[in-house]
Structure 1
Amino acid sequence: MGDVLVTLKVMPEGVDSDLKVIEDRLREVDAGRFNSLEKVPIAFGLVALKATYVVADEGGAAERLEEAIKGIEGVKTVETIEASLV
């Protein structure tokens, strides 16, 4: 099997959330291989984080990655916005 590049939209709990701490924790997630991180302005000072990871092309890998990220303190929601074979 190959690998899948998964792009996730990570929303912090609010504008007061410490994005630096969340960014550091996103880089440490072990459910996938960290690839990149981008800040995306949403509205009224709220910034989402667009993170990409490489995971194995096997059932449940993307879901395990999402669950690992949801467990990060300060993260409100996680949404897979794209997945493609690499």
Structure 2
Amino acid sequence: MGEVVATIKLMPESPEVDLEALKKEVRARIPEGTELHRIDEEPIAFGLVALNVMVVVDDAEGGTEAAEENLAGIEGISNIEVTDVRRLM
């Protein structure tokens, strides 16, 4: 099996959500077997900023599912979406 890097977009509930607190919570919720590569901010509109979380996971059954479930449970996040998945060479 190989490794893949996946980008998961986290959309905050509102522009008032503390992004630094969200980033801290993301780091704390990365599951075992998943490596956090980086977190980027993406301006959306009207002060709303999404977080693009890049993680490296094994290309096993389930893939990003554990990370998605953990990140979806963060307070202040309205939805999440896997926007990109690429195999590492």
TM-score clears 0.5: yes
- 1:34-78 Cα offsets, whole Å, 9 max, x none, are 001111000000000111000111111212211110011111111
The answer for unaligned runs of 5 or more in structure 2 is none
Question: Structure 1 CA distance, aligned partners of 2:19 and 2:30?
Answer: 19
Tell me which residue corresponds to 1:26.
26
Q: CA deviation at 1:29?
A: 2.3
Specify the code of the residue in structure 1 equivalent to 2:71. Answer: I
Equivalent residue for 2:63, pick from 52, 61, 64: 61
What is the TM-score with the length of structure 2 in the denominator?
0.90
Structure 2 counterpart SS, 1:64: helix
Question: Structure 2 CA distance, aligned partners of 1:76 and 1:33?
Answer: 23
Percent identity between matched residues is 37
Tell me which residue corresponds to 1:7.
7
Question: Structure 2 CA distance, aligned partners of 1:74 and 1:35?
Answer: 22
Tell me which residue corresponds to 1:35.
37
User: Aligned residues, how many?
Assistant: 86
Tell me which residue corresponds to 1:78.
80
What is the TM-score with the length of structure 1 in the denominator?
0.93
Moved over 6 A (4+): none
The answer for unaligned runs of 5 or more in structure 1 is none
- RMSD over aligned Cα, in angstroms? 1.0
Question: Structure 2 CA distance, aligned partners of 1:60 and 1:18?
Answer: 30
